[in-house]
Amino acid sequence: GIQVEQSPPDLILQEGANSTLRCNFSDSVNNLQWFHQNPWGQLINLFYIPSGTKQNGRLSATTVATERYSLLYISSSQTTDSGVYFCAVKLDGNSGYALNFGKGTSLLVTP
Amino acid sequence: DVKVTQSSRYLVKRTGEKVFLECVQDMDHENMFWYRQDPGLGLRLIYFSYDVKMKEKGDIPEGYSVSREKKERFSLILESASTNQTSMYLCASRAGGAYEQYFGPGTRLTVT
């Protein structure tokens, strides 16, 4: 089956620090998204990034599709960045409609 | 902005009750999804629908059914709630031909 592995599972940072979250996937994909789940449970779209690099403010993401991984960079972290970060993919050959999610990276940013 | 709403944020039900979770999206999206989220397991797909009255089983459909009578509304039904269905339930929608998927705020269901 589809394997989506995220690392690290947990991360604690001091405010202002930078971090890199990783997502490995087991096959070629045509859809990869990063989500942030805030402490109230809401999942928020960060990036749609099946390949290449995108930036949005302090966050950026890079997907190297040929090597089957994606990275999410958080710079100058803030306490509001706390929550769980999910990577979700849809396999290239999968005719279904839904995304397969990793188990997430739980981030806590302390003041 | 896409808006996906769910009928309740918190719900407490008794074992054996029939439970309805409602999801509404306002962007005319063809595709709608129900996931459950449990600690250490991430999000797992229960059912999805790609059109009115059309549905497909996801990875964990046992104990659940769904209904999509109107394009904007997708309901998840627990025919006879059990304690192992205590979980966070998340609804999502996506436009046909698009890639980005949008989530509702979630319903935290407790079955006692």
Residue A21: helix, strand or coil by DSSP? Answer: strand
Q: How many CB atoms lie within 10 A of CB A44?
A: 12
Q: Write the pLDDT tens digit of every residue in B26-82.
A: 999 999 999 999 988 889 999 999 899 999 898 899 999 999 999 999 999 999 999
B102: which chain A residues are within 8 Å (Cβ-Cβ)?
45
What's the mean pLDDT in A5-30? 94
Q: Could you give the CA distance from residue B54 to residue B50 in angstroms, rounded to a whole number?
A: 6
B33: which chain A residues are within 8 Å (Cβ-Cβ)?
97-98
Q: Could you give the CA distance from residue A15 to residue A52 in angstroms, rounded to a whole number?
A: 28
B4 touches chain A (CB under 8 A): no
B30 touches chain A (CB under 8 A): no
- Please tell me the predicted confidence (pLDDT) of residue A94: 52
- Please tell me the predicted confidence (pLDDT) of residue A39: 87
Q: How many angstroms away from the CA of B86 is the closest CA of chain A?
A: 15
A86: which chain B residues are within 8 Å (Cβ-Cβ)?
42-43
Pairing of strands A10-14, A105-110: parallel
- Please tell me the predicted confidence (pLDDT) of residue A87: 95
- Please tell me the predicted confidence (pLDDT) of residue B104: 95
Residue-level length of chain B: 112
Q: How many CB atoms lie within 10 A of CB B106?
A: 23
Handedness of CA B73, B76, B79, B80 (dihedral sign): negative
Q: Which residues contact residue B57 at a Cβ distance below 8 angstroms, ignoring those fewer than 6 apart?
A: B47
Find the angle CA(B35)-CA(A109)-CA(A12) to the nearest 5 degrees.
Answer: 85
What's the mean pLDDT in A61-86? 96
Q: Which residues contact residue A66 at a Cβ distance below 8 angstroms, ignoring those fewer than 6 apart?
A: none
Residue B26: helix, strand or coil by DSSP? Answer: coil
B42 touches chain A (CB under 8 A): yes
Q: Could you give the CA distance from residue B93 to residue B29 in angstroms, rounded to a whole number?
A: 6
Q: Tokens representing B65?
A: 């059914």
What's the mean pLDDT in A5-26? 96
Residue A73: band (very low, low, confident or very high) from pLDDT cuts 50, 70, 90: very high
Residue A30: band (very low, low, confident or very high) from pLDDT cuts 50, 70, 90: confident
Residue B98: band (very low, low, confident or very high) from pLDDT cuts 50, 70, 90: confident
The answer on pLDDT for A49 being more than 90 is yes
B27: which chain A residues are within 8 Å (Cβ-Cβ)?
none
Q: Which residues contact residue A106 at a Cβ distance below 8 angstroms, ignoring those fewer than 6 apart?
A: A9, A10, A11, A83, A84
- Please tell me the predicted confidence (pLDDT) of residue A91: 63
Q: Could you give the CA distance from residue B58 to residue B10 in angstroms, rounded to a whole number?
A: 24
